[in-house]
Amino acid sequence: MEEKKINKNLEERLRFIELTLRFKGWCSRSDLTRKFDISLPAATRDFREYKDLCPNNLSFNEVEKHYEINLHEFAPHFPINFKTAVGFIRNSTNSKTIGLSEFDSIQSPPRLSEPDLDVLLKITRAILGNTIIETKYFSVDNGFSHKKLAPHSLIDNGLRWHVRAYDYEKCRFADFVLTRFKNVQETKIKVGKNESRSQDNQWNRLVRLELVPHPNPKNVQCPETLMHDYNMEDGVKVVEVRAAVAGYWLRLWNIDCSTDHRLTGKEFHLWLRNSVALYDVDSVYLAPK
């Protein structure tokens, strides 16, 4: 039988029902009304729709007046991965609905600085419109300067946001910290082919990183734990990253990138066994070694 087509708004609500069931174990009409500002009768219809789709996934508890997950028969209609699940509970409305407090139950590192929204929007318009921007920019080494840039991508390095762009003054691609932009001026000037993302070799080059438990027993006494922790195959975790950001990730992950695994400390659980992969990687100066 042909599967019934569902409009996007209804699909969003049905997806919410399923995720709430999976996270909390139960879901009520009031959960839906708070999240989507709909009436109780509308919420009842949504549960009926979900029940028609997945009759074995939930059952109604007459005492508590809510639907509960049938763990032994549950088969998700909307499959998710870990990233999707974490994204769901990081949404403050969702976390409150399922009873997780952002202050007590969910903790993530706070940002010490936050980019100006207007700056971000101007840069995303330039990226999507393939246009040049002119801006004031502050650097740690050189202080204030005027920049003419062709931005093509955004980078979140775990601590702060960067813009990957072509610098017309220095005739090269580089990263620029988003919080250091000031008075960004949009232009209608289109980015030339030589200054576009397709010509950014560091961005387009993929680097294969082979990560293994650190050989130094002062750092790691039970390597099997890390093999399980990182789901390693044959004792190695292979990750492919862009050369432009390899240094950021290696620093964030605390990877010992020295050729002779000489870094000591409990923070260095992993060693990059193929350090030759970092040859000619511009961001290598950021990697611990």
Q: Fill in the DSSP letter of residue 4.
A: P
DSSP state of 59: E
pLDDT tens-place string over residues 158-192: 999 999 999 999 999 999 999 999 999 999 999 99
Q: How confident is the model at residue 106 (pLDDT cuts 50, 70, 90)?
A: confident
If residue 209 lies in a helix (H) or strand (E), which one and from where to where?
strand 206-213
pLDDT tens string 117-150: 999 999 999 999 999 999 999 999 989 999 999 9
- In 3D space, the residue among 86, 117, 65, 73 whose CA is nearest the CA of residue 23 turns out to be 86
Q: In CATH, what class is 117-201?
A: mainly beta
Structure confidence at residue 93 as a pLDDT band (50, 70, 90): confident
Candidates 91, 71, 63; CA nearest to 21 is 71
pLDDT tops 70 at residue 22: yes
What's the whole-number mean pLDDT along residues 29-52? 96
Helix, strand, coil percent values for the chain (each to nearest 5): 35, 25, 35
The pLDDT confidence band at residue 4, using thresholds 50, 70 and 90, is low
Residue 1 banded pLDDT, cuts 50, 70, 90 = very low
**Strand 172-177 and strand 181-190: pairing?**
unpaired
Q: Where are the alpha helices (DSSP H) in 153-200?
A: none
- Angstrom distance (rounded) from CA 269 to CA 229: 11
Inform me whether the pLDDT recorded for 100 exceeds 90: no
Integer Cα distance of 289 and 287 in angstroms = 6
d(CA 37, CA 208): 48
pLDDT at residue 90, as a whole number:
85
What confidence category does residue 102 fall into, taking pLDDT thresholds of 50, 70 and 90?
A: low
Question: Average per-residue pLDDT in the chain?
Answer: 95
Look at 27-31, 101-105, 259-263 and tell me which has the smallest mean pLDDT. 101-105
CA nearest neighbour of 46 among 54, 64, 25, 69 = 54
Cα–Cα distance for residue pair 128/125, rounded to 1 Å: 5
Instruction: State in words which class domain 8-98 has.
Output: mainly alpha
- In tens, the pLDDT along 50-79 reads 999 999 999 999 999 999 999 999 999 999
Domain ranges of the chain: 8-98, 117-201, 205-286
Q: What is the pLDDT of residue 65?
A: 95
Euclidean distance between CA atoms 176 and 203, whole angstroms: 14
